Amino acid sequence: MTDWKQETENLRQQGSSWTEIAEAMQNHFPELNRQQVLERVRGHIRRANNKTSKVVGKDKVVGVISDLHLPFAHENYIHFLEDTFNKYGVTDIVNIGDLTDNHAISRWQKSTSAHSANMEYELARRDIEIYKRAFPELDLVLGNHDLIPQRQCATLGIPEQFVTGFHQLWDLPKKWRIHEQIEIDGVMYTHGIGANGKNGALDRAISNMQSSVIGHCHSFGGIQYHSNSKHLIFGMNTGCGIDIDKYAFEYGKYNKNRETLGCGIVFNESNAIFVPMNNRYFRK
């Protein structure tokens, strides 16, 4: 029988999707379901890429994961991220915030289809495990949805010392470092609370007087530049990674501007790209 690892690598090099590879490998793992096979082949490719991609002295390339709102992320967004980060040789990863949604405990109107708070929490923890395996080390900037539990407790007058820390709440790895904002090689990464519209990222960059990356504004993904006689800076909005058909996003069903899925790649303080998630990843 053909070695499944080599067969997986061959199919990946030929451009097969993760779903197509999992279907082809199913006969090698009759005891596993389709999702388990998918995780097995992705894990092998990830380890194989790590062995061949580490280059001494390589320039830092930052990959930016956009708003996930777990457990309501698009199921193929993780595959898109892995493919994109491998393609551009990402060395460092920033999650730009709203890792979790916390719909059930939000102060806003709940969907009539909503899970209980406990069920949403368990589903989010399940999905976080997928991202922990894919990205064992990253910098996480907290977003407004991540902070809903703290805000709700503050509303009730519950002191901070009674509130479980974010690391403990979600059982995050020690190498997931948490920040309000973080600067890497002259570029500021912040969730973007208070930023609005298609110019929100550029406005934030001008306010910071340095290149800046934000999430938060789901409908806008892209980069705008600003320059004077001495400096060139950019503002990047990384869009989001959500599944717009989930009940948590019913509020935006009739918005003029729909959500833009994608991620960011930052090469240096004056050079970055927004990579949209293309149609290939919207197929089941």
Note whether 266 and 233 are same-domain residues. yes
Place of tokens 């790895």: 173
- Split at pLDDT 50, 70, 90, the class of 282 is confident
In tens, the pLDDT along 245-268 reads: 898 888 767 677 778 999 999 999
Note whether 50 and 66 are same-domain residues. no
Residues of the domain holding 11: 1-54
pTM over 0.75: yes
Note whether 104 and 47 are same-domain residues. no
In tens, the pLDDT along 113-129 reads: 888 999 999 999 999 99
Q: Which of 47-51, 99-103, 214-218, 258-262 has the lowest mean pLDDT?
A: 47-51
Note whether 190 and 269 are same-domain residues. yes
Query: Quick one: DSSP state of residue 26?
Result: G
Q: What CATH number is given to the structural domain containing 141?
A: 3.60.21.10
Note whether 124 and 189 are same-domain residues. yes
Q: How far apart are CA 185 and CA 269, in angstroms?
A: 7
CA angle 142, 198, 176 (to 5 degrees): 20
Note whether 157 and 230 are same-domain residues. yes
Q: Is the pLDDT of residue 2 over 70?
A: no
Q: Is the pLDDT of residue 15 over 80?
A: no
Residue 254, C-beta contacts closer than 8 angstroms, at least 6 positions apart: none
In tens, the pLDDT along 132-160 reads: 999 999 999 999 999 988 888 888 898 87
Note whether 83 and 5 are same-domain residues. no
